[in-house]
Amino acid sequence: MSLVGQAFVVTGGASGIGKAIVKKLLELSAKVYALDLSEIPTHSSTPGELVPFSRVDVSSRASVKSVFDKISPQDSELRGLVNCAGILRATDGSEKSDESFRLLWDVNVMGTWNTNTEFRNFHRAASIVNLGSMASVRGIHGLSGYVASKHAVLGLSRTFAQEWGPESFRVNAVAPGAVNTPMIQGMAGDDSHNAAYKGAFKSLSEPEEIADVILYLLGDGSSSISGQLIEVNGGWP
């Protein structure tokens, strides 16, 4: 796969799957704009070459637009967006979970809406990969808000693929199972979230394994793939 000199935007690039895709893109000599609410660790493809980083709150249209306005004049032909920014919170389907539900919706759903639509405003003939989840197509006990938000991410991805296809956009979603990231590690002590080990492999996936699938969807080898959900979940039923 050759991505030499091509430019990509990665949200959630400071940790987890986002960090892994940033590193892999750099290894392929691509140019990467990493966005995150948190400070990003230093990545480098050659000594002294740092990834352009911007802090962004994906739940805010104004924050996302401000960042894309700065990126676009530098790279008018961005080849792809990888939207990894997201959060996980427990919700029990009761009034006491209202705040968590709203936060999940704002970050996971509005974040997808804001980043995808702002990216589309400036670019054509590009690939967008949104991070779904096994929760995009399943119900999971104790995670009703997260499940609802990830179902919505899949719905947006499939609909954008239909609406923007005539502009040579491809939009897909990747659905990891339980991945060895800070987000999953933060839930590890709660037995209601041991979906990590329901897969056939009985183990966590590594972020790099998910990043490899995302790389494929960014490249020309997947030029006929759009509107799809690619499950990478270790055989989760």
Which residue range(s) make up the domain with 98? 7-232
CATH number (domain holding residue 171): 3.40.50.720
> From CA 211, how far away is CA 18, in angstroms rounded?
8
Q: What are phi and psi of 38, to 5 degrees?
A: -95, 160
| pLDDT for residue 59 | 98
Q: How far is CA 143 from the centre of its chain?
A: 19
Does residue 215 fall inside a structural domain? yes
User: Mean pLDDT over residues 193-217, rounded?
Assistant: 76
Between 124 and 13, where is the model more confident? 13
**Dist. CA 38–CA 11, nearest whole Å:** 11
Number of domains in the chain: 1
pLDDT of amino acid 205 = 74
> At 13, is the secondary structure helix, strand, or coil?
coil
**If you ran DSSP here, which 8-state letter would residue 216 be given?**
H
Say if 182 falls within a structural domain: yes
The pLDDT > 90 percentage for the chain reads 67
CA distances from residue 233 to 5, 71, 212, 218 in whole angstroms, order as listed:
31, 33, 13, 20
Q: Which two tokens stand for residue 234?
A: 């270790």
The overall pTM is greater than 0.85: yes
